[in-house]
Each structure stands twice: as C-alpha cells, then as structure tokens.
Amino acid sequence: MVIVMKKNATESQIDHVIKWVESIGYGVHPSYSVERTIIGVVGNDRGKAQLKNAGYLPGVERIMPILKPYKLASREAKEGNTIVRVGDVEIGGSEFIVMAGPCSIESEEQLMESAYIAKKGGAHILRGVAFKPRTSPYCLQGLEEEGLKLLGKGREKTGMPVVTEVMNTTDVDVVEEYADILQIGARNIQNFALLKKVGHARKPVLLKRGMMTTIEELLMSAEYILSCGNNKVILCERGIRTFETAMRNTLDLGAVPVLKELTHLPITVDPSHAAGHWKYVIPLARGAVAVGADGLLIEVHPEPEKALCDGLQSLKPEKFYQLMEEMRAFGTTMRGETGVLQ
Amino acid sequence: MVIVMKKNATESQIDHVIKWVESIGYGVHPSYSVERTIIGVVGNDRGKAQLKNAGYLPGVERIMPILKPYKLASREAKEGNTIVRVGDVEIGGSEFIVMAGPCSIESEEQLMESAYIAKKGGAHILRGVAFKPRTSPYCLQGLEEEGLKLLGKGREKTGMPVVTEVMNTTDVDVVEEYADILQIGARNIQNFALLKKVGHARKPVLLKRGMMTTIEELLMSAEYILSCGNNKVILCERGIRTFETAMRNTLDLGAVPVLKELTHLPITVDPSHAAGHWKYVIPLARGAVAVGADGLLIEVHPEPEKALCDGLQSLKPEKFYQLMEEMRAFGTTMRGETGVLQ
Amino acid sequence: MVIVMKKNATESQIDHVIKWVESIGYGVHPSYSVERTIIGVVGNDRGKAQLKNAGYLPGVERIMPILKPYKLASREAKEGNTIVRVGDVEIGGSEFIVMAGPCSIESEEQLMESAYIAKKGGAHILRGVAFKPRTSPYCLQGLEEEGLKLLGKGREKTGMPVVTEVMNTTDVDVVEEYADILQIGARNIQNFALLKKVGHARKPVLLKRGMMTTIEELLMSAEYILSCGNNKVILCERGIRTFETAMRNTLDLGAVPVLKELTHLPITVDPSHAAGHWKYVIPLARGAVAVGADGLLIEVHPEPEKALCDGLQSLKPEKFYQLMEEMRAFGTTMRGETGVLQ
Amino acid sequence: MVIVMKKNATESQIDHVIKWVESIGYGVHPSYSVERTIIGVVGNDRGKAQLKNAGYLPGVERIMPILKPYKLASREAKEGNTIVRVGDVEIGGSEFIVMAGPCSIESEEQLMESAYIAKKGGAHILRGVAFKPRTSPYCLQGLEEEGLKLLGKGREKTGMPVVTEVMNTTDVDVVEEYADILQIGARNIQNFALLKKVGHARKPVLLKRGMMTTIEELLMSAEYILSCGNNKVILCERGIRTFETAMRNTLDLGAVPVLKELTHLPITVDPSHAAGHWKYVIPLARGAVAVGADGLLIEVHPEPEKALCDGLQSLKPEKFYQLMEEMRAFGTTMRGETGVLQ
C-alpha cells in the first residue's frame, strides 16, 4: 500500500503516520518530494482492513493499494491453466465446450427433448434449472428436486454431464447428489455463505459474474470457493448492467482477455442471458469464441414460444444446430493446429 | 401489455398474434395506423412470463409492459403510509429516526461504548453487525452468535431496539431471537431464498438496495417479503454503482421521492456505506433528510482509527453528536409544525 | 405514442386527455380496461416535443413512445446496406476494412514511418490526428494544419486514403481539404453545431459513439448528418463507460449486431481506445470481426514507448502485422465464400 | 507517479525502468519489497503523457498517478472560495442563488411572462436558451439571435442578469454581447475548442457537468477555461447517466461536498434537467441546498403544458413560488447566523 500525504502535511503528521503504520506491524519506505510525500507500506496488505484506517490520520490525502486482493485465483499462485474435468469433458483445455439446454426444467418431455437437441447439436454438457431465481414472486419458481431427477434422467439417456443452479446453502447437498457441476447464479455472486458452502463441495462450481460485479470482485468470489478447498471453479461472463438497454445486459467480452491474464481459471460466456433475445445470441457466441473464451452456455428449447420462462432468449433447434456448426468452424480458426491462439 | 408490430407486418402476421394472445387467455385491442399496428393486451400482465414470448412471433417489433410488476408494495395496494413499530419507535411516522452503531461488533467494550454514544447522541435504534458479509475471505468474518449476545446486552443496557444483518437462511431463527429488526444487506437483495425466509419471520425487515438494483427491482424484492406475509418492510437507499468513483458509491437521493410516490413503505438512507469516508457522511445525511427520508443508518465508533472494519466511514463521537444536533434542526425545517413537508 | 392513464383516472380526465391530443393534431385510439385505460396516439410522433407534455395532464401515469426517433438512419428508410466509397476502398461492402496509423501526428518521420507500416501490414486507410482533443490543457494539442499536410504526404506516398478528426466548426473546411474522411470524436458526438457542419460537407464522416451515448443517441447523431444531406456516414463503436475499470472503457461488441439490425450504415470498431492498453487490442479486434463489424480502427506506432500521446494503446509494428494476418484468416471464416456470414 | 513492477520482474528490468524514467527528466525513488518493487517518480507528473508510456516497459505491472491532473481549479491554487460577481449578485458567497426561467425562449410574451414570474418569486438571475442543443434534428432549434434580444429585454425590464447557452465557437461573441453569464451545456463539457474560446471571454461561465463526466473531468474542463485566463467559472451538477431510469438522470448530490473539498469554484445544481419531471424538482432542490450547493437552476414556465420544449420538467408559477419560499426557510437552517454551515 502507498499512503499519499497532503501537500501541506506537516513533518509531525508524517512522523505520526509512519509510527502508526509501524505500530500495526508493517515497515515503511517514505519518499519525500516537493509536491507530495508518499509512504510505501512494506508487507502484505491483503486482508488487512485495519491498514485502510490510515485514511483517518491527520495529513493523509489518500491510500492506494498495490497488491490484488486475491491470491489463489491469480496467475501468481499457479503455473499454467486450470482444467476442470467432468467425466470425459475438459473445460479450459484445448477443446471449446458448449453447455446447452433449456432455461427452466418444465416437464419430463420438455427436458428430454431439449437434451436430445443439445446432444444432436454436439453440446458437451446439459444445462437446466430446477431451483430458479425469479425477480417476481408471482413467476414460476422451479420444479426443485423433481427437476433434479429429470436432469438425472437427461444425463442417463444422453451420457452428457449436467450443470444446474443452487440458490440456498440448505440445497447444496441435494443438488450435489444429482448434478455434475454446481452453478452459482449472477444474483448470488456475493452470497458469501453460499460461496463457502460450495467451497466445501466435491463438485466443480460454475460461477456467474453478477450484473454489478467487477472483474476483481468476481475473482474475490472465486477466491472464497478456492480458499475453502474446492479448486474446480469455472468462471462465466453473462453481461453487466450499463446505461445501454438495447440488449438486456451489456456482454463484457473484453473481460475474457482480462481474466485470461489475471487468472488460471477457465472462462465461459453466456450470451443468452446477456442478450435477452435469441436474435443476438449467435453473433455474441461468435464474439465469445473469438476473444478467447473456453466455452459457452446456450439456452435451447424445443418450442421457445411456449416456454414458461425466458423463451425469448432461447434458440430454436435449427438455429442451435447452425450455431454449433459455426462453433466448429471458429474452433478451427481459433484453436486448430494453425489457429490464431496457437 | 402492448405489442408493437413491425411497419411491414402482414395482415396474417397480425391475425396470428391476435389469435395467439387470445389462446393464452387474454383479450386484445388492436389499433391500426399507417406507421405501426399496436395490439393492446387486456388482462393482468403481471407474473405472466409466457406473454413475453409474443416477442418470438413473426412480425412483432417489441412488447411493452404497462403495469408495474409489484402489487403489495405499491401505493395502489394500500392507502396512507406503512409505519413500522419497534418498541416505542415508529419508522415512517412523524419523527425522523436514526439507527446508529458500529459497522462490526468487535468486542463487548467496543459495542457497549458505541451503544452509549448512540444513546447519548439521541439515536433511536442501535445497529451492529455480527454476521458480516466480506468481499475477501481473508477479512474478519464477524463474531456471529457471540456478537448477537453482545447486541442483546446493548439493548438491555440502553433500552434501544437493535437491528443486525442476517446473511443465510439457516441463521434467520437465531438472529430473530436477538434482534428487533432483521437487516438484509445490499449483496443479498436478490437472494430470493433469504427473502422468502424473512418473509415468514415475525420481526420487521430492513431491506437495503443493492449497488446495481433498480428502484423497481428493490420493490420486487420487498414484494417477495410482503407476499410471504411479513408486511413490516423498511427500505434503505445506500448508494448505487456508477462510473463515478469519488465516493465509494453514488448515493441516489432522488430515489427517496421516487419511492415515496410509488410505495407506502418507509425509506431510510445509509450515507456511511455510500460515502466510504466519514468526511462526506454529514452532508449526505443533511441531503437525506431534505429529500424526505424517514430515517438514517449511521456508523459511529469510539475510535474509528482502530476499527477492525470500515473504520474510515465511521464517525467519531463528537462528529456524531454534531450530526444529531443538526438532524434536530433539520427536523424542524422539514417535519415540524410549519415544516416544508406539512 | 401510448398514453397510460392512472388506475384511478376519472372519466373526465380521460376525456380531457383525448381532447388535448386531438387539439394538437393527432388522432386517438383509447382502450379501456379494468387495470388501466391506455390511449393510443395516431400519427407521426417523431420530433413532436409538445406531445410529451401530455405527461403534465391530470390522471396521466406515463407516456410511451412507439416509433424510433430517427428515420433516415433506419432500415425502414433504405433497402440494403450503405457502402461508403473512398477511392478504391469500400466500407460496408464485402471486404473487411482496417484503418491504421498513429494516435497523434508528431513529426514527418513518425507519420511517414507509421504510414509505411500500415501499408505493409495491409491496412486500407491511414489514420492520424492533427486536431487533438485532450482532456488536459497541459497536454500536446496537435500539429493542426501542419499535421494535415503531413497526412496529405502520407496519402501521396502510400496511395491510401486518410481519415482525421475535426473538432470545431471553423476547422471543417481546412480538414476537408486534406482528408478523405472526416472523423467526429467520441466527445463531440452531441456537438450538434459540428454535426450540422459536417452534414453539409462533401466528404464521408466517421462518427464515433460517445462513452455514454446510447445506440439510439448514436443513430440520432447520424440522423443530424444525414438530414443535412450527407449520406456517407460510417459508425464506430469505441467503448462505453461503465463501472468496470479493468480496461479504459467497456467495448460494447453487442452494439454491432444491434446496429446491423437497426441501420443500413456501416459499422466499425476501435479496440485501441476502448482497451487503453496494447495487450488487449488483438483479442478485441478478433471479437469485432466475429460479431460482424465492417472494419477496424487500429493505432500503430513505430516506437510506442516514445509516443507523445496514448503510446500504451498503440501496437508495435510486429504485433500489427500479426493482427493483420489474423484478420485475413478471420475474414475467410466470416466473409469468405463459405463464411458464416454468407 | 508510482510505477508498480510485476512480482517476477528481474533486476535488469527494474534498472531499465529507472534509467528510462531518468532519461525523460524525472528522479526516481525505488522501494524494494518481497511482494513488489515500486518506483516512485519524483517530479511534477501533470501533463506528461509520455510518462504513461512506462506501462510499455518490460516488467511493469501498472502505473498509478499521484497528483490530481488539475492545478488552477484545485484548492491548492487558491485560499478561500471564488465568488463570481454578476451585477449585484454574488455566486459562491453567503447568499443562496436561484437562476430561473424557461427552458427555451419561445416568444416575447412567453419570455417576458417567465421573467416576471422569476422576479416575483425572488430569483436572482434569469435563464433562457436561444441556441438550443436538441438530440433530434426534427425538434425546435432555438430562436438564436432573436432569442438573445428577447433575453436582453427581460434583463432590462426586471433588472436581473441573464444566463444563456452557447454551443459553437462562432457564436461566443454574439452571446457575450447579450448575456451576463455564458452557459456551456452538458453535451459540450469536452468540446475543448469551445472551452478555450470562452476561456478568452470576459463574461463568467456556467459549466454544466456532462452526463458521462467524472468529477475529475469536470474540473479538467474548468481548468481549460481557467488556464486561458477566465477565472469566473461556476460549476453545475445536473445529473449523471446510470442504470437507473426512474428519473431522466441520477442527480449526484454527493458531488457537491466532493467539489467543495477539491475546488474553490462555486457549485450549483440543476434539478429540472436531472429529474425530467416537475414532480421531483422540489425535493431535489431541497436536497441540493442541504448538501451545500451555492445555488440552483430552475425551469419555470407560465404554461408548461404548452411549452415547445421540456415542458414536463418546468414548474408552474405557483409551484415555483412554493419552492422559493422553502429555499428561504432552508437558507436560514443552512446559511443563517445559526445555520449548520456556520
């Protein structure tokens, strides 16, 4: 941390700050200059909330942290990339991964049909939500455990691993029984009790960035899970909230290269929720693979116009097959032997 | 809801939309014009996610909801203002209410000293956090039940009711045992499992707006609680996330008159968390009372520079006493017999 | 426009609104329902600021515009795509276009070297700024007309058309003398006097979206230029301002498919300004071509570490050559005979 | 400036950075530590764009500026507050100032009526726009010089000084002929050519913060004007763009105490444009005076429902009189002999 003194800070104020910093166990490295005296704090400033109180001392203009607040999630903590294995599927490896399925699990027929479409298109993982976060208490709330059982059937029949959301600490055990990957939704990105709970689970966690979450906060939420012992964390960019309302959210595709630089964890993109409308899903999916994402979450529904939830953002089967076709072409451009990422 | 057809929508597309709307149980009221045909949907469009699928039909340009998605929280549901009573204190009534105390409960000495300062300054309710949401797993995580006990002691010694945060559904029962008001923090504003749980509690709920929560979403979260039967909800504006970083968040004081228009629920303001620095707390508190808030949440600490958490935003005792003095002067201007709000 | 009445609006209030609307020259189409009466306004509501005053009439809850406020820029105004021709280069046609060069024109040597690098890499258009918008009055302000002359020399020696910024109405004539394309910078996106002036120019206009400009406002600014008679407008997405600060701005790649749907004008992307750092330019450029942009603006500098302005976001020559190589590979995937956009 | 080296930066990289910094004329003050080496740059880092290129050197993680980029606008440049005198009116002095009038000047009758209302209510300055920035080319564009003449007549008849907007460098001379204060609108906050032009004018400048402008950028725009020799700058907060759409913009009342801390320039607030609806103007005006603003801009219109522009946000005369009454009561609470600001 660096403490910047005010221009007119007195010598005794500077001395007081130095003594205060030393008194809580840090070294100091002051640098006197005409414009400003700045005091470098030597020592690990992570997790030391108390150090921020320096801002309270007379003569202090502001304090500037130097270290990133996360450790385990950072590239400094690990060489190479984390590859999360789920059955035969590797997320974060050389293959581009698609997780597809309906938004909500509505019925056995709807889920099984969606599963076969996903499989036929070439998706690697089946997604579907049984515990459904809804902004309105008057909307469908999800089939809960019954939905999990259907998802289990989808896995059994298609051979694809399944991912589903968990919303409450008390549901983690039952979800873990049925699911291969536990999804933490955007609205629970800073539900720290839930993060700790899945941090103690055995299954991988798909962690969706919140609409209001900075990249640093996303990595801090991943850090929660990692610090509890679960190192199988998959990140997911799904759109942030900005002033622009042409799509439901603004997909921050730039977050992908930033995350690739900062962390060893795999990064996926969910264009369906960001767009809020099927017509933008395919171009955004193309963009996601181009900026270097490791995979996609795609909503597909046998009959979107009859969907009980978020039908508008779900692809029809034929559009989904077109998307999967394109992903393979892009895959060659990006990840193939002569791909730009080689 | 209104369905806007594309300029070049064909007659048969329009007919198809009309039949589709009728088939899911709504009446229609089409209006043909040179520029656009628009189709009014007659019936209650709340909670009918399926109606949104109209966006999938050929020839549809977009759909526009007419009704607000909340009911119980709206002024249409109730005449007059909701007054939440906690002991002798009325929140949302004629008196301006201050809830004060430390950010985190650190020790018996610190909590009791803070409680006496709050009492001496004239605060009505004691606040303090035992279950602490921290963005870093490496920071102080709160004293949990031990903290709740200290809070109980603070209440006993000062006679003030107490408010404290609950973060997890599994903690609601124990928090309710000790607290007079259950606080839902900004990061849990869309933790729907938690909202439902406190919706079934007997104690009032202080619901803090999230950093990127719209006013409509805040009211939808209140609606969750109300729809479970708990009608004692107190709203709290605590700053939203914008591009401006001069303060930690941008305090949306305009939300107060907007909420006063839309809902019967009382509205408080937390300038300490919005500002992130004690030096802005007093001017923001003045602004809050001026725009018509019903109360304030203020962080006060006997020795902020030694605080284990958020010391920088806590007022020292003498500043807190000054603030309380001012609040009384403002109270007269605003709510007194000849006040501008009369 | 649709006027939504309050739930408790009286019959006489509804009548009054209807008469008021008719009195200013519009037809009405009321639709009575239990929840709300809504009044459709029949007629062109564009440019009719007065119609918005309906919000002032007793009993009115809110007003909702139906038509987009732009006409000439919309797809309704023109079949097919606008292709802007500059010499042999077609922007918005089948070829993906790259405009490259230094941020500021610093000297003859620097500009000429940059021009040769751009040419060698395969760029189509040379960019360089002579009139430089700087947020600080203490920074380099640009070589002005001398810079324009150097740009002219760059064009002469390389055969590439040139694009440069114009900041002030009084400079439009001199810039038009030297440049093939007039650039309007992000900070002047709502400088309406300047928009009108370039709307009367003969040269094409490259219009950069502002950091907080909605897509609709961008199209309204294009409409200003189009409505003055200049129909050669090229749009440019260059990043918007959000809460995320990992890059300088958040590149809104989703704006590209949205604009492709709404307008016939060509759309380019400037990843250099959005990123603010060269290390993110290449992934963002890949993303831009993937989402369907018609071209790129790229900053390249022979020795970025010596640049007088924005060196950090400029590519070194070898990185630029790599980017151009990739753009050709992507071009095949996207726009080639079997490309995904065919 | 502080240069933070990467954790794994080599000694030779560190040496290289140090030599590079010295080579462009700065001193260095390195601080070696286990976690990171940081290099303090000694010297004035304002306006030295080149120093930022350090980010290009191998081993550099990031660079952190220490000094604010503005000088003349800062409290370091001047003791006490700047008071801008216009006739008998002092802006930034002990009295709270109200500038009132219609949005657009529509006709002699409308302007004169508005002027008398403003005068009767007790406003200090008459406002009205002759050169009108409109987002749509199809809307009223202002009466231009004819409007300025009417404004002159308003001044003559009421004795109030007048403020009006100037949008284009070529109009500054004529506006200065008629107006007592030149207003720079929110959309021109970074129209640097215009800022320089009014920086050379003799009349005071009312500088409105842009919807996308940070407080630091607002002060940089003020710095442009100050650095050209015009030290009579009045700042104005008028709402910023956020995700919240309940009002047209989010009024950043917190900017007032921040600006009071950073600058000696007076600060006013425009609640009419922020709100976009008259019903929120009065509560926001109360808030503005409470947070410490020096004055208000208020739109008032004799018959808002007939206004040609922005009628919805204009107060009717009786509401305006009520507001002015309140402002006097608040003035006593805030600025009177026993006011909270004493």
CB C56 within 8 A of CB D311: yes
Contacts of D191 (CB under 8 A, 6+ apart): C167, C187, C188, C191, D184
pLDDT (tens digit per residue) in A209-262: 999 999 999 999 999 999 999 999 999 999 999 999 999 999 999 999 999 999
Mean pLDDT of the A262-283 span: 97
Return d(Cα D327, Cα D307) in angstroms, integer: 25
pLDDT at C275: 96
Q: Collect all residues of chain A within an 8 Å Cβ-Cβ radius of residue C255.
A: 244, 246
Closest CB from A167, A193, A311 relative to B192: A167
pLDDT at B262: 97
Percentage with pLDDT > 70 across chain D = 97
Give DSSP secondary structure letters for C199-222.
Answer: HTSSS-EEEEPPTT--HHHHHHHH
Mean pLDDT of the D303-319 span: 90
Q: Is the pLDDT confidence value at C47 over 60?
A: no
Q: Is the pLDDT confidence value at C166 over 70?
A: yes
Closest CB from D253, D292, D340 relative to B253: D253
Give DSSP secondary structure letters for C162-202.
Answer: EEEE--SGGGHHHHHHH-SEEEEPGGGTT-HHHHHHHHTSS
Query: Distance of CA A56 to CAs A60, A171, B251, B316, Å?
Result: 7, 43, 22, 10
pLDDT at B179: 97
Indicate the pLDDT class of residue D125, thresholds 50, 70 and 90. very high
Residue C15 is which amino acid? D
pLDDT (tens digit per residue) in D216-249: 999 999 999 999 999 999 999 999 999 999 999 9
The complex scores an ipTM of 0.94
C-contacting chains (≥3 CB pairs under 8 Å): A, B, D
Indicate the pLDDT class of residue D338, thresholds 50, 70 and 90. low
Burial class of A202 by CB neighbour count within 10 A (0 to 12, 13 to 18, 19+): exposed
Q: Collect all residues of chain A within an 8 Å Cβ-Cβ radius of residue C280.
A: 254, 257-258
pLDDT (tens digit per residue) in C221-254: 999 999 999 999 999 999 999 999 999 999 999 9
Q: Do B191 and A192 touch (CB under 8 A)?
A: no
Mean pLDDT of the A44-59 span: 79
pLDDT at A46: 58
B5 - beta bridge partners? Answer: B60
Q: Is the pLDDT confidence value at A342 over 70?
A: no
Average pLDDT over chain D reads 93
Q: Collect all residues of chain C within an 8 Å Cβ-Cβ radius of residue B30.
A: none
Burial class of C304 by CB neighbour count within 10 A (0 to 12, 13 to 18, 19+): buried
Give Dmax over CA atoms of chain A in angstroms.
Answer: 77
Residue A87 is which amino acid? G
pLDDT (tens digit per residue) in D174-229: 999 999 999 999 999 999 999 999 999 999 999 999 999 999 999 999 999 999 99
Indicate the pLDDT class of residue A137, thresholds 50, 70 and 90. confident
Find where tokens 């999916």 sit: A285
pLDDT at C46: 58
Alpha helix segments (H runs only) across B84-214: 108-121, 145-158, 172-178, 192-199
Percentage with pLDDT > 90 across chain C = 75
> Chain A: residue nearest D26 by CA?
A33
Q: Which three-class secondary structure state does DSSP give residue D104?
A: strand
pLDDT at D98: 97
pLDDT at B259: 98
Q: Is the pLDDT confidence value at A47 over 60?
A: no
pLDDT (tens digit per residue) in A154-212: 999 999 999 999 999 999 999 999 999 999 999 999 999 999 999 999 999 999 999 99
Mean pLDDT of the C46-63 span: 83
Phi, psi of C234 (to 5 degrees): -110, 125
Return d(Cα C11, Cα B3) in angstroms, integer: 25
CB A189 within 8 A of CB A223: no
pLDDT (tens digit per residue) in C79-120: 999 999 999 999 999 899 999 999 999 999 999 999 999 999
Mean pLDDT of the D76-88 span: 95
A-contacting chains (≥3 CB pairs under 8 Å): B, C, D
> Chain A: residue nearest D211 by CA?
A243
pLDDT at D321: 97
Closest CB from B40, B44, B245 relative to C38: B40
> Chain C: residue nearest D166 by CA?
C193
Contacts of D108 (CB under 8 A, 6+ apart): D150, D153
Suggest the residue from D212, D238, D315 to mutate for an interface test with chain C (most C CBs closer than 10 A): D212
pLDDT at D342: 60
Q: Which three-class secondary structure state does DSSP give residue D169?
A: helix
Average pLDDT over chain A reads 93
Return d(Cα A119, Cα A317) in angstroms, integer: 11
Q: Which two tokens stand for residue D4?
A: 């933070």
Q: Do D42 and A29 touch (CB under 8 A)?
A: no
Q: Which residues of chain B have pLDDT under 50?
A: none
Q: Nearest 5°: CA angle at D41, between D39 and D42?
A: 135
Mean pLDDT of the A124-139 span: 88
Closest CB from A252, A256, A284 relative to C244: A252
Q: Measure in Å the smallest separation between the Cα of B48 and chain D Cα atoms.
A: 23
pLDDT at D14: 95
Find where tokens 């300490």 sit: B272
Q: Collect all residues of chain C within an 8 Å Cβ-Cβ radius of residue A340.
A: 286, 326, 329-330
Q: Do A227 and B137 touch (CB under 8 A)?
A: yes
pLDDT at D47: 52
Q: Collect all residues of chain C within an 8 Å Cβ-Cβ radius of residue A252.
A: 242, 244, 250
Indicate the pLDDT class of residue C332, thresholds 50, 70 and 90. confident
Beta strands in B253-335 (DSSP E): 267-269, 295-299
Q: Measure in Å the smallest separation between the Cα of A220 and chain D Cα atoms.
A: 19
pLDDT at C303: 93
Task: Tell me the Ramachandran region of residue D328: left when phi exceeds 0, alpha when psi lies from -120 to 50, beta otherwise.
Answer: alpha
pLDDT at A334: 78
> Chain D: residue nearest C133 by CA?
D192
More confident residue, B236 or D340: B236
Q: Collect all residues of chain A within an 8 Å Cβ-Cβ radius of residue B305.
A: 20, 53, 56-57
Q: What is the 3-state secondary structure (H, E, C) of B113-135?
A: HHHHHHHHHCCCEEECECCCCCC
**What angle in degrees, to the nearest 10, is found between the helix axes of C317-335 and A317-335?**
150
Phi, psi of D91 (to 5 degrees): -100, 125
Q: Collect all residues of chain B within an 8 Å Cβ-Cβ radius of residue D337.
A: none
Q: Measure in Å the smallest separation between the Cα of B309 and chain D Cα atoms.
A: 23
Q: Do A52 and B308 touch (CB under 8 A)?
A: no
State in Å, rounded, how far the first CA of chain C is from the last one.
38
Radius of gyration of chain B (CA): 23
Find where tokens 């003194």 sit: A5
pLDDT at D190: 96
Q: Which two tokens stand for residue B75?
A: 């002024």
Q: Do B31 and C35 touch (CB under 8 A)?
A: no
pLDDT at B45: 60
More confident residue, C307 or B97: B97
B-contacting chains (≥3 CB pairs under 8 Å): A, C, D
Mean pLDDT of the C212-222 span: 97
pLDDT at C112: 97
pLDDT at A332: 73
Q: Collect all residues of chain B within an 8 Å Cβ-Cβ radius of residue D291.
A: 283-284, 286-287, 290
CA D240 to chain centre: 12
Return d(Cα D165, Cα C222) in angstroms, integer: 23
Q: Is the pLDDT confidence value at D339 over 80?
A: no
Mean pLDDT of the D255-278 span: 97
pLDDT at B268: 98
Q: Do A40 and D35 touch (CB under 8 A)?
A: no
pLDDT at C132: 84
Q: Which two tokens stand for residue B154?
A: 């603070």
Model pTM score: 0.95
Find where tokens 């903290």 sit: B147
Q: Is the pLDDT confidence value at C140 over 80?
A: no
Indicate the pLDDT class of residue A338, thresholds 50, 70 and 90. low
Residue B4 is which amino acid? V
Mean pLDDT of the C190-219 span: 97
> Chain D: residue nearest C224 by CA?
D137
More confident residue, D23 or B73: B73
Q: Which three-class secondary structure state does DSSP give residue C120?
A: helix
Return d(Cα C221, Cα C214) in angstroms, integer: 11
More confident residue, D118 or B26: D118
Q: Which three-class secondary structure state does DSSP give residue A138?
A: coil
Q: Is the pLDDT confidence value at C67 over 90?
A: no
pLDDT at A65: 87
Closest CB from A246, A257, A292 relative to C258: A246
